[in-house]
Amino acid sequence: MRDKPSPLWQLLVLCLLLSTRISSQIAVATARELFAAGWRTPERLRDSTWQERVDALGRGGYRRYDESTATRLDEAAALLLDRWHGDLRRLRDEGRTDPARISQLLQEFTGIGPAGAAIFLREAQAVLPQLRPYADSLVLKGAAKAGLPQDGDALAGLVDEAEFAALAAALVRVARDRS
């Protein structure tokens, strides 16, 4: 991931897909299908038709929610273009790099709730150091299972600053591991 508009848009799309009651594997496969269709920017997505989006969602395995999600993707692209000129870094700036405020702004995208916003913040901190250390409840749950501190600042002290996003991602996997 890079601190550029297109990768941040792609992360937002993935978060929107992950925010629905569907497996993460299907959400990731569907995101890949959308990006393979050329919709790596909000402008390109807005150039697509609703039916083209439904078809791509279906090819990715996202069939149960394909029609509503096709609409939500278009609405997300329109909001991003209209309000933040297609650049989620402007949303970050509007949020004054405060994760709680940025989370609220992200939830203005239809379909992105607290969990989707948390995913975005957790992943985006890899390229937006102003967000570090962001540790949501899932990261802290993983930290508890691993016997690590259950505080973002304390966890951040365990790794180099640039490695915190990777630690957070690993702790999410620990939290989700049933064994």
Q: Is 172 in the same domain as 91?
A: no
Instruction: Say how many domains are in the chain.
Output: 2
pLDDT at 59 over 80: yes
Q: Is 166 in the same domain as 80?
A: no
pTM score over 0.85: yes
Q: Is 60 in the same domain as 77?
A: yes
Question: What CA–CA distance (Å, rounded) separates 129 from 59?
Answer: 35
* Sole residue written with tokens 């049933």: 178
CATH number at residue 21: 1.10.340.30
Quote the domain boundaries for residue 50. Answer: 5-131
Q: Is 18 in the same domain as 85?
A: yes
Q: Is 153 in the same domain as 104?
A: no
Q: Is 119 in the same domain as 79?
A: yes
Question: How large is the average pLDDT for residues 25-34?
Answer: 96
Instruction: Using pLDDT thresholds of 50, 70 and 90, give the confidence band for residue 92.
Output: very high
Question: How large is the average pLDDT for residues 45-56?
Answer: 97
Q: Is 152 in the same domain as 123?
A: no
